[in-house]
Chains A and B, each alone.
Chain A
């Protein structure tokens, strides 16, 4: 319930960017609550178990190759999905640092784990931009960054209940899929490394 409210408030902020009054009010409220929350550590995140139907779309990976998303995500390997973009300011760097760190923490010879980042700025995120991004995070094989037609990306965001009309108003989401059950664990918020590893262990994928 709380999560839902927060989500709606964040969306409103993004959509009303052009009107002065509402963002100003939301901002003042946000700033006040921000100061109230500042002392709390670590930032809380929420998790839930969901069933999603992955749309049958073809996206493009960092090497410019077409990828069938449904086949890729609904495979026999565990998959983790997030939504990011190449020039994002705050959330994506933290999510991606989490991915990079998870790759480092996996013991050698561990079962395959597929990390997928889907661009929510498909206009700017060309394969070259995505390659450069992955390089900056020193990604290892097994982490793919996908872009594609805007309509397809919208479909994917909607399928994961993560649709945002304006990329600047997105929020931190991580989805973990366990092949055994086919269910998705939806994590709203940013996790520490320990928490991310613990979540993966809980699902039996690390």
Chain B
């Protein structure tokens, strides 16, 4: 029996990873274009790159951290925080804790600053009926260097004490100022005076019904948005005060980029789409497959991608341009690990077996569990991967349980394993706990064997279904034209949530329509209670809005409820 399954030992995984690495690196070497000039490759980074590193990472061109004094006399190193921490990547600043951090994009710094209508171009300002004097003249390189060093602005005012005073050598100062001159000054692709062009990516295997579940609400939104007459919108804004009379309003256009064939060919297809039609951002998107090629494309083009509907996002601490709902299946595995650790008393050792269905879901669940389990200092879990199409029957499970005495089993398989799971009830010395994924089980979740419900925990990454209808009802207004025929997929409700966040970000960007600013404005949004996920929350650099996953148990009876066994977020 055991021969038919593949056992993944840590050592073997390491070898596989090594082999894969060699394969990837050798193919990359083949694929890379020949270097024309060896010196160019080893040349020092450009001045822009060095300035960007100062701004974003707080490192001097020498590689040493920048040094500053904040709040009068508190020394701070660039490794702790730097320009980007408050002014954000786009340079359009933030408002946090009652302290405004002003915009320092190239256009703002090197023009006079006005409190009223700060976003107007000089030509537009001339047309204003009531003109107010600027609160400071435009910076020059000299006055900006003085402000960064001593906090004195060209109007002779002192900047707030929370703005660090930087101790920079001439050359380093010049490099930073050179970067600031260009910061968010390029005209963003895909935006003209009337329209912001957007696209959404759909891969070939997605069913027509699922495509419609996303496209109908998106098209409804775009249609409604474009029905707002521009002039009316401008007048509205002027009435509020503080918003530019020139108006930030643009029409939206939405294209659908359909990807065919294998994922290897997606980057090529995406390049062709983008070359033909430059877009400002990707909105939503839908694939049953790994999102990685699209993620990598967006990262390389600095193209924002907002809330693609995928179960297989890229899990990264540092990638920047794709904003996901959650980490997908990976996050469920993570929650299982944290919950199990919480149940484990000090000194107790859990011996965990992960049985994994061959397929992306199982692999992501197992990886989420394993990586988190190790991070929690709980060591290695034994992992068994079933071959494709194989069902975990009673005999097979029994033979696995013979391998050693397991205290907990992660059953990352489908409902086919239910008879084996049920059989555990009779087994003397059975593992105390079993975990399964509610999403991997789908609607079959509710037919979990009665006897197994006492020892089976379920990862459930959405709001408790008892409370869901109230919240999801809100989404109906945008869904006109489709029935929520398959609410299990949560495609239309997630699309609705994406639109809510995007709409707010569009308003918050105002006239500063820049790709980085779109993501910066989202990062400053407060917590959201929207359909599906119990809570969405944001912050600079945070790229997975839902941080939670409930652990549930199933009540007894033929139409059982789910019983919450954990908080939304488990530490």
In the assembled complex, which residues on chain B have CB atoms less than 8 Å from the CB atom of A85?
539
B504 x A90 contact (CB < 8 A) = no
- Total contacting residues, chain A, CB less than 8 A: 69
In the assembled complex, which residues on chain A have CB atoms less than 8 Å from the CB atom of B161?
41-43, 190, 192
- Say yes or no for A78: interface residue by CB 8 A criterion: no
Taking the closest CB of chain A, its distance from the CB of B56, in whole angstroms, is 14
A193 x B242 contact (CB < 8 A) = no
Taking the closest CB of chain A, its distance from the CB of B40, in whole angstroms, is 34
Binary per-residue interface labels of chain A (87-127) against chain B in the complex, 1 for a CB within 8 Å, 0 otherwise: 11111011011101100000000000000000001111011
In the assembled complex, which residues on chain B have CB atoms less than 8 Å from the CB atom of A142?
none
Across the interface, name the chain A residue whose C-beta is closest to B535: A123
B residues at A contact (CB < 8 Å): 70-77, 79-81, 85-86, 88, 94-101, 115-116, 135, 157-162, 240-243, 375-377, 504, 507, 523-527, 535, 537, 539-542, 547-548, 567-569, 571
Across the interface, name the chain B residue whose C-beta is closest to A10: B98
- Say yes or no for A205: interface residue by CB 8 A criterion: no
- Contact among A27, A97, A148, A169 for B76, CB-based, below 8 A: A97
The answer to whether A127 and B80 touch (CB under 8 A), given A31-B115, A87-B540, is no
In the assembled complex, which residues on chain A have CB atoms less than 8 Å from the CB atom of B135?
35
- Say yes or no for A1: interface residue by CB 8 A criterion: no
- Say yes or no for A179: interface residue by CB 8 A criterion: no
- Say yes or no for A166: interface residue by CB 8 A criterion: yes
- Contact among B77, B96, B158, B571 for A91, CB-based, below 8 A: B96
Across the interface, name the chain B residue whose C-beta is closest to A122: B569
Number of A-B residue pairs at CB separation under 8 A? 181
Taking the closest CB of chain A, its distance from the CB of B480, in whole angstroms, is 23
In the assembled complex, which residues on chain A have CB atoms less than 8 Å from the CB atom of B98?
6, 9-10, 13, 30, 169, 171
> Top 3 closest A-B pairs, CB basis?
A192-B72, A87-B539, A93-B81
Alpha-carbon distance A174/B405, docked complex (angstroms): 51
- Say yes or no for A17: interface residue by CB 8 A criterion: yes
The answer to whether A138 and B526 touch (CB under 8 A), given A18-B504, A24-B240, A91-B96, is no
- Contact among A10, A42, A121, A150 for B97, CB-based, below 8 A: A10
- Contact among B96, B99, B100 for A31, CB-based, below 8 A: B100
A150 x B240 contact (CB < 8 A) = no
Alpha-carbon distance A172/B160, docked complex (angstroms): 15
- Say yes or no for A147: interface residue by CB 8 A criterion: yes
Across the interface, name the chain A residue whose C-beta is closest to B84: A89
Alpha-carbon distance A168/B86, docked complex (angstroms): 12
In the assembled complex, which residues on chain A have CB atoms less than 8 Å from the CB atom of B162?
43, 90-91, 94, 190
- Contact among B240, B377, B526 for A166, CB-based, below 8 A: B526
B80 x A93 contact (CB < 8 A) = yes
In the assembled complex, which residues on chain A have CB atoms less than 8 Å from the CB atom of B71?
42-43, 94, 97-98, 190-193
B80 x A136 contact (CB < 8 A) = yes
Taking the closest CB of chain B, its distance from the CB of A193, in whole angstroms, is 4
A17 x B526 contact (CB < 8 A) = yes
Alpha-carbon distance A106/B216, docked complex (angstroms): 63
The answer to whether A38 and B159 touch (CB under 8 A), given A24-B243, A171-B98, is yes
In the assembled complex, which residues on chain A have CB atoms less than 8 Å from the CB atom of B100?
30-31, 34
Taking the closest CB of chain A, its distance from the CB of B511, in whole angstroms, is 15
Across the interface, name the chain A residue whose C-beta is closest to B376: A64
The answer to whether A64 and B94 touch (CB under 8 A), given A32-B115, A168-B526, is no
Taking the closest CB of chain A, its distance from the CB of B265, in whole angstroms, is 36
In the assembled complex, which residues on chain B have CB atoms less than 8 Å from the CB atom of A25?
241-242
B80 x A96 contact (CB < 8 A) = yes
Taking the closest CB of chain B, its distance from the CB of A82, in whole angstroms, is 12
Taking the closest CB of chain A, its distance from the CB of B369, in whole angstroms, is 16
A residues 25-82 in Cβ contact with B at 8 Å: 25, 27-28, 30-32, 34-35, 38-43, 60, 64
Taking the closest CB of chain B, its distance from the CB of A81, in whole angstroms, is 17
- Say yes or no for A181: interface residue by CB 8 A criterion: no
A91 x B115 contact (CB < 8 A) = no
Other A-B contacts than A28-B116, A124-B537, A193-B71, 10 sampled, CB-CB below 8 A, are: A28-B115, A35-B157, A89-B540, A94-B74, A97-B81, A123-B569, A126-B571, A151-B567, A166-B526, A169-B98
Taking the closest CB of chain A, its distance from the CB of B73, in whole angstroms, is 4
A97 x B70 contact (CB < 8 A) = yes
Alpha-carbon distance A93/B82, docked complex (angstroms): 9
In the assembled complex, which residues on chain A have CB atoms less than 8 Å from the CB atom of B375?
128
Query: Which of A9, A147, A192 counts the most B-chain CB atoms under 10 A from its CB?
Result: A192
Alpha-carbon distance A96/B70, docked complex (angstroms): 11
Chain A to chain B contacts (Cβ below 8 Å), 21 pairs: A13-B98, A25-B241, A28-B115, A30-B98, A41-B72, A88-B97, A89-B86, A90-B162, A91-B96, A93-B86, A94-B70, A94-B71, A97-B70, A97-B81, A138-B80, A151-B567, A167-B527, A167-B539, A168-B526, A169-B526, A192-B161
In the assembled complex, which residues on chain B have CB atoms less than 8 Å from the CB atom of A27?
95, 242
A121 x B571 contact (CB < 8 A) = no
A90 x B99 contact (CB < 8 A) = yes
In the assembled complex, which residues on chain A have CB atoms less than 8 Å from the CB atom of B240?
20-21, 24
The answer to whether A28 and B571 touch (CB under 8 A), given A89-B94, A90-B101, A170-B97, is no
Taking the closest CB of chain B, its distance from the CB of A16, in whole angstroms, is 10
A60 x B94 contact (CB < 8 A) = no
- Contact among A24, A41, A167, A193 for B74, CB-based, below 8 A: A193
